[in-house]
Amino acid sequence: MGTTDTAAAERAAKPVILTVDDDPGVSRAIARDLRRRYSDAYRILRAEAGPQALESLREIRLRGQEVALLLADQRMPLMNGTEFLEEAMDLYPHARRVLLTAYADTDAAIQAINVVDLDHYLLKPWDPPEEKLYPVVDAELDSWHRQERSWRDSVRVVGDRWSSRCYELRDFLARNHLSYEWHPAGEPSGRQLVKAAGADPAQLPLVVTPDGTALTDPTDQELAAAIGIATDPAAEFYDLAVIGGGPAGLGASVYGASEGLRTVLVERQATGGQAGQSSRIENYLGFPDGVSGGQLTERARRQAVRFGTEVLIARQVTRLEPRGSARVVHFADGGRISAHTVILATGVSYRRLGAAGLDEFVGRGVYYGAALTEAPACADQEIYVVGGANSAGQAAMHLSGFAKRVHLLVRGAGLQQSMSHYLIEQIAATPNIEVHPCTEVVGSSGDGHLERLVLRDRNGGGERTVSAAFLFVFIGAEPHTGWLDDVVERDDRGFILAGPDLLTDGRRPRGWTLGRDPYHLETNVPGVFVAGDARADSIKRVASAVGEGAMAVALVHRYLTA
């Protein structure tokens, strides 16, 4: 290979940093400053318009090259910076996104945080770059290198539209922020994939990974391992094991790892928990325009990983065993890890409806939780949402953007007692949401999937049957604590007791061996703490769960240093 060819190959192997600014002088200046510091390890490219930059990205993608960082000016004609970054996400979802703004554009930059999951906004001018530009770029490139990027192309899923296992696989991919293509088995693209993989059409679903590996009806753990998600622990012993990846578990992981504890987070499906499935959270501190649960919890996951938390996905915990000073966590497949301390942040799931026939249609028209992957399929449909709290209201608002009409079914006389005022106002102002108070689902029917619901008027108005292909349920809460039987004390509903709730007439819990009372979030097993929705009498809010995760880590330190 000649010298010219070698140089070209080296350039092609470098990840790209792309800048977009319609001011030629600014465009040359930022490219010059970036080359001065980063040209040894990165290709620095610049464009002077959003469409031109997108064309460059498409060419880079066709060549199979990586893009590490996108810097876009907000004020550009034809396509502003936020619009460019939004389209660029489809080509390079893992590239870090930075918006260049003037002081007057800071409101637009804050809005972009929610629209394109912006990583940073940088005020112009950035002189001197050593103080104002390079630290920002260094941090973003470091985050890019740390994140999991082994899947650059989509996972492809083939199966029946109303297969509950197909829905579970698609939901697993979506909640883990992995792009996928859905191919119904009856369509030409689905049949072609099945034939190319040499799979049996009678044994779907089929999953084809980006490297061409074909998996027939894989378990979540098999799928995770095949696409590069960590499922096996890197060590046998940790300072802190966090069980559950919702807001409480993520909060505990961020604070534990950032404070020097060797921390592992174990999650049975996907980080985020119920909050991660929320289409919009509008009352979380610091996000005046709201933020999707997926965006919020994915940022928290990245933050935890950046501080050194080891995240294990698709691992089912089946038992907790106190063994001397160690706490042993057992997995369903026979594996285990040990830790000095454990934080239980397993959260809750929505209670099942007891209506006749409904269990038959779970994943086939009946969904417990937001099921955001199904929203596009609700287009032009009359859909039903059950529940009167914030989660039901947020789902109704999100689904109203797809469905012809959303029917919100509430057992009580209205929403005022259980839903935030801002959501009630939004629902009232949305013309295709209809609230049905004093209404419950008592029956269902369908041929292979949900087709009809039987509704009852609780005020004695009788029953009626309605056509319905989609039902989303948000009622009550059941904690994931059955695996703690005979080890950790719980109340009669399964929620974990901790701290003062363990004391009876001033007496410490049975089997307690220490010469002190349990700490505030400590269970009856010393060194085992609880945080978030799984704790008895907890406040079911994202902010309080995050706070309890941080508080639990402070108590872990107190336990370890006592």
- Give the pLDDT confidence of 510-545 residue by residue, as tens digits: 889 899 999 999 999 999 999 999 999 998 889 999
Of the listed ranges 96-110, 288-302, 497-511, the least confidently predicted one is 96-110
What is the model's pLDDT at position 151? 41
CA distance 198 to 262: 44
Co-location of 170 and 121 in the same domain: no
Does the pLDDT value for residue 111 go beyond 70? no
DSSP codes joined into one string, 372-384:
GGGGGGGTT-EEE
Label residue 16 by pLDDT band (50, 70, 90).
Answer: very high
Co-location of 484 and 467 in the same domain: no
Does the pLDDT value for residue 257 go beyond 70? yes
What is the model's pLDDT at position 103? 59
236 found inside a domain: no
Does the pLDDT value for residue 493 go beyond 60? yes
Q: Over 414-461, what HEC string results? A: CCCCCCCHHHHHHHHCCCCEEEECCEEEEEEECCCCCCEEEEEECCCC
43-47 vs 96-101, strand pairing mode: unpaired
Higher pLDDT, 273 or 383: 383
Domain boundary pick from 115, 146, 177: 146
Measured N-to-C along each axis, helices 106-115 and 81-91 cross at an angle, to the nearest 10 degrees, of 20
CATH code, domain with 179? 3.40.30.10
Does the pLDDT value for residue 372 go beyond 90? no
Co-location of 166 and 289 in the same domain: no
**Which residue(s) pair with 317 in the sheet?**
331
Co-location of 301 and 175 in the same domain: no
180 found inside a domain: yes
What is the model's pLDDT at position 442? 96
Say how many domains are in the chain: 4
How confident is the prediction for the chain on average, in pLDDT? 89
231 found inside a domain: no
Which residue range(s) make up the domain with 169? 155-226
Co-location of 12 and 119 in the same domain: yes
Co-location of 129 and 19 in the same domain: yes
Q: What is the mean pLDDT of residues 264-274?
A: 93
Q: Would you tell me how many other CB atoms lie within 10 Å of the CB of residue 364? A: 19
Co-location of 339 and 394 in the same domain: no
Q: Is the pTM of this model over 0.95?
A: no
Co-location of 280 and 312 in the same domain: yes
Does the pLDDT value for residue 12 go beyond 60? no
235 found inside a domain: no
- Coil, strand or helix at 223: helix
Does the pLDDT value for residue 369 go beyond 90? no
291 found inside a domain: yes
CATH code, domain with 461? 3.50.50.60
What is the model's pLDDT at position 4? 47
- DSSP, res 362: B
Of the listed ranges 196-210, 249-263, 526-540, the least confidently predicted one is 196-210
CA distance 338 to 327: 6
Co-location of 18 and 130 in the same domain: yes
CA distance 462 to 467: 17
Q: What is the mean pLDDT of residues 346-370?
A: 91
Higher pLDDT, 63 or 327: 327
Q: Do residues 386 and 353 make contact, with C-beta atoms less than 8 angstroms apart?
A: yes
CA distance 531 to 248: 6
Domain boundary pick from 181, 196, 226: 226
Q: DSSP strand E in 200-280: where?
A: 206-208, 214-216, 237-243, 263-267
- DSSP, res 281: B
